[in-house]
Amino acid sequence: MDIIRQISEELAIEPWQTQAVVDLMDEGNTIPFIARYRKEKHGSLNDEVLRTLSERLQYLRNLAEKKEQVLGAIEEQGKLTEELRRQIEEANTQVAVDDLYRPYRPKRRTRASIAKEKGLEPLAAVLLLQGKEDPKKEAEQYLSVEQEVLTAEDALAFAMDIIAEEVSDHAEYRTYIREYTTEHGLLQSEAKDDTVKSVYEMYYHYEEPVAKIAGHRVLAVNRGEKEKILTVKIAVEEEAILRYLRKQKILHPDSPCAAYLEEAIEDSYERLIAPAIEREIRNELTERAEDSAITVFGKNLKQLLLQPPVAGQTVLGWDPGYRNGCKLAVIDSTGKVLDTAIVYPTEPRKEVEKTKKLVKKLIEEYHVTLISLGNGTASRESEQVIVELLKETHLPVSYVIVNEAGASVYSASKLAAEEFPQFEAWQRGAVSMARRLQDPLAELVKIDPKSIGVGQYQHDMNQKKLGEALNNVVEDCVNLVGVDLNTASSSLLEYVSGISKTVAKNIVAYREEHGKFKDRRELLKVAKLGPKAFEQSAGFLRILQGDNPLDATGVHPESYSAAEQLLERTGFQLSDIRQAQQGKQGTGALSRSIRKKDWQEYAQEFGVGEITLHDIVKELEKPGRDPRDEMPKPILRTDVLDLADLKPDMVLKGTVRNVIDFGAFVDIGVHQDGLVHISQLSKDKFVRHPLEVVSVGDIVDVKIMSVDLEKKRIQLTMKI
């Protein structure tokens, strides 16, 4: 198998690009590093293509290894023909290899193997030949009290078991039946008790073609089956498949053996082939649905992690609750905790005035400018209190509703206890509410990505595959933004290219012992951080106000010489980088001072590629640029809407909270996200998937279509 050629064709890239990436990965380079600092070698492939390439490489290498094992096993049995070798070597999937290996795989005891032990293979061969002889007379030759073959009917039944297994093991037959069932089969679900009310009611008497069923419906019926509410099966026209099998065996109607052969074929399909094919197809449907859901979850997570930080504000974090009260924490613009408190404005105590008095005191004492309110239990009542307070006092404060998914898990975690050993869990939760607004990425990396709540059916999926995919997303986001080496937590540092959990903790320990890092090279003094880890990580770690202004940029240390030469040739100095960081002109006009013909000349002179030179200039012109600044800012609120206030045709501005296969959920400020169905996302084009139109965090205009107060459902449209 030519893995390089196959991957190149699948991803529509050049073989030299694939080979370059494979070589770089085999050398131990991470995908963020390859994507950012080895563009010349692979032609500027983005991290998404690189991730896909990595997955396919692993799959195809595993497939090649499996082929070798299968070929070796069959050869040991002395049954490997040149034709079989060719079929195995040309197989493109593990399923195809399994089909070819099935007749040679050591089996547990089956009805066919028991029949063979009783010596019935010759009788099976007679039936397959479909001669003129009487099968019952032939069968009488195999009667044996010792082998418990007491009648001709017993002998024929055993012989048919051998034929049934032989038909079942035939790779070509299974391939045809699998393809036919996939193309013509129907996935059907029925309720075990259709009088029971449940979220699966639309699937109580449901069927859809296997070839067309959407992934989210596959996951829904799977969950309904797992919860024992639904029974699920794949239905297909059996007679069409049996006709195909009879045709392959070329039944001779004039032979007395044909009836036995036909019975064996039917048994083979119903007992052996159909259940296995159904399992395989359902597994494939589930795997495809999971892959699609993981992709959507990953894109949602990426958008959430890249929400722009709200900088320069003192924030009051508000973690709402009923019986245990609402937990408050005030943090300054650097994330330092200034104060914490608990108030009880909600049921059962309803200390509204007391709460307002304390919150007003905190706002005035610490000059709070923004309140970050979690969207969980008692959020609605808390918002009402905040709005009343702001109206009564006219304080220059706004509030933002943040997603609190995973906050309770974090606040009770070992990581939170290490970060805030002096605080109780409730205090840590309130701090998390505030910090999610100040720096969403730095705060959300502390939580298991699966708990962040921007996916669908995540708990029903292959957790290992989901975890790996989401960790890759977090890694890509962290390395895209870059990390402040002197303030980052170990939980943030461990996502940096080349940095393991142990090394991340060692960096923090070194910082605590020796003070702030002054130079990127100082990283080499950190325990277990060797030259390779330094190469992979240094470009993503920033040192603000360090000895070398280049340490605050995304320029890799290996390119410092080129950057310094470039500055000198174009009339700039290293000090100009600091000027640019402070918002002054500095190096802002660097690219304009390079003539078109100079790019290639400079690249050769400085010993870097032209693509790398362009990246260096981009970094020098906007040192410390945060890519999140280009994302939509959160909506700041000062007033509250009630579900009952919503009327059809009302137009509102909202924030996209979650994108799923069939639409998008939008927060319009009433604590009940509204659904924009996929059919309502655009009036200008047909939308195949909601991600073509919206992403998590987008600020969108929506119109109310309908409101169901009883079920608390809001239908929205973006066709305005």
The CATH number of residue 320's host domain is: 3.30.420.140
pLDDT tens across 618-673, in order?
A: 999 888 788 888 888 888 888 877 888 899 999 999 999 999 999 999 999 887 89
| Residues 207 and 188 sit within 8 Å (Cβ to Cβ) | yes
pLDDT in tens, 407-445: 888 999 998 998 899 999 999 999 999 999 999 999 999
Q: Is residue 691 part of a domain?
A: yes
Judge contact between 139 and 123, C-beta under 8 A: yes
**Is 467 inside any structural domain?**
no
From CA 3, how far away is CA 57, in angstroms rounded? 7
* Residues 120 and 98 both lie in one domain: no
CA 620 to mean position of chain CA atoms: 34
Contact 281, 185 (CB under 8 A): yes
Residues 290 and 425 in one domain: no
What is the reported pTM?
Answer: 0.86
Residue 464 is assigned to a structural domain of this protein: no
- Among 263, 296, 329, residue at a domain's last position: 296
Chosen domain end from 104, 121, 145: 104
Q: Is residue 443 domain-resident?
A: no
pLDDT of residue 585: 67
Closest C-alpha among 294, 115, 122 to residue 216: 294
Nearest to residue 412, comparing CAs of 402, 423, 404? 423
How do residues 556-586 score in pLDDT, each as one tens digit? 999 999 999 999 999 889 888 888 877 666 6
- Residue 594: per-residue pLDDT: 85
Question: How many other C-beta atoms are found inside a 10 Å radius of the C-beta of residue 625?
Answer: 17
Q: What is the pLDDT of residue 441?
A: 93
Is 433 within 8 Å of 317 (Cβ atoms)? yes
Domain boundaries, position 552:
501-630
Q: In the prediction, which pLDDT does 589 show?
A: 75
Nearest-angstrom CA–CA distance, 475 and 479: 6
291 and 213 fall within a common domain: yes
Q: Are residues 621 and 575 in the same domain?
A: yes
Write down the pLDDT at residue 270: 97
Please give the C-alpha separations between residue 410 and each of 301, 326, 377, 402, 414, in angstroms, as whole numbers: 17, 17, 17, 15, 8
Cα separation, 299 vs 481, whole angstroms: 16
Q: Which residues pair with 484 in a beta bridge?
A: 542
> Which of the listed residues 58, 81, 104 is the one where a domain comes to its end?
104
Question: What is 109-128 written as a DSSP string?
Answer: --HHHHHHHTT-HHHHHHHH
Whether residues 91 and 161 fall in one domain: no
Report the DSSP beta bridge partners of residue 370: 315, 398
pLDDT for the residue numbered 592: 83
- How would you classify the pairing of strands 713-717 and 674-677? parallel
Give the CATH number for residue 210.
Answer: 1.10.3500.10
Q: What is the pLDDT of residue 1?
A: 61
Q: Residue 643's pLDDT is what?
A: 85
pLDDT of residue 575: 87
Distances (CA, A) of 685 to 382, 678, 680: 40, 11, 11
Helix, strand or coil for residue 379? helix
Would residue 597 count as lying in a domain? Answer: yes
CA dihedral 508, 512, 513, 515 (to 10 degrees): 110
**Contact present, 96 and 1 (Cβ < 8 Å):** no
The pair of structure tokens assigned to 705 is: 């279509």
CB 306 within 8 A of CB 632: no
Please indicate, yes or no, if residue 494 is contained in any of the structural domains. no
> Are residues 219 and 98 part of one domain?
no
Residue 488 lies in a domain: no
Residues 175 and 322 in one domain: no
pLDDT tens, residue by residue, 322-343 = 999 999 999 999 899 999 999 9
Mean pLDDT across the chain, nearest whole number? 93
Q: Which residues, in sequence order, are CB contacts of 226 under 8 Å at separation 6+?
A: 460
The total number of structural domains that make up the chain: 5
CB under 8 Å to 235, separation ≥6 — which residues?
185, 186, 188, 207
Both 157 and 281 in a single domain?
yes
pLDDT digits (tens, 9 = 90+) for 9-65: 999 999 999 999 999 999 999 999 999 999 999 999 999 999 999 999 999 999 999
Decide: 490 and 504 in contact? Cβ < 8 Å.
Answer: yes
Query: Which positions of the chain have pLDDT values less than 70?
Result: 1, 583-586, 588
Note whether 374 and 237 are same-domain residues. no
Query: What single-letter amino acid sits at 373?
Result: L
In a domain, 444, yes or no: no
CATH assignment at residue 601 = 1.10.150.310
CATH number of domain containing 35? 1.10.10.650
Q: Count CB neighbours of 223 within 10 A.
A: 17
Do residues 575 and 547 both lie within one domain? yes
Distance CA 280, CA 221 (A): 16
CA angle, 11 then 217 then 669, to 5° = 95
Let me know whether 91 and 137 are in one domain: no
> How buried is 2 (Cβ within 10 angstroms: 0-12 exposed, 13-18 middle, 19+ buried)?
exposed
The two three-digit tokens of residue 642, written as one number = 């009630």
In this structure, are 95 and 115 located in the same domain? no
Sequence letter at residue 66: K
First to last CA, the chain: 53
Using CA atoms, how far residue 487 sits from 401, 436, 554, 686, 694, in Å, is 26, 16, 17, 46, 33
Contact 320, 346 (CB under 8 A): yes
- At 355 the three-state DSSP class reads helix
How many of the other CB atoms lie within 10 Å of CB of 34?
A: 24
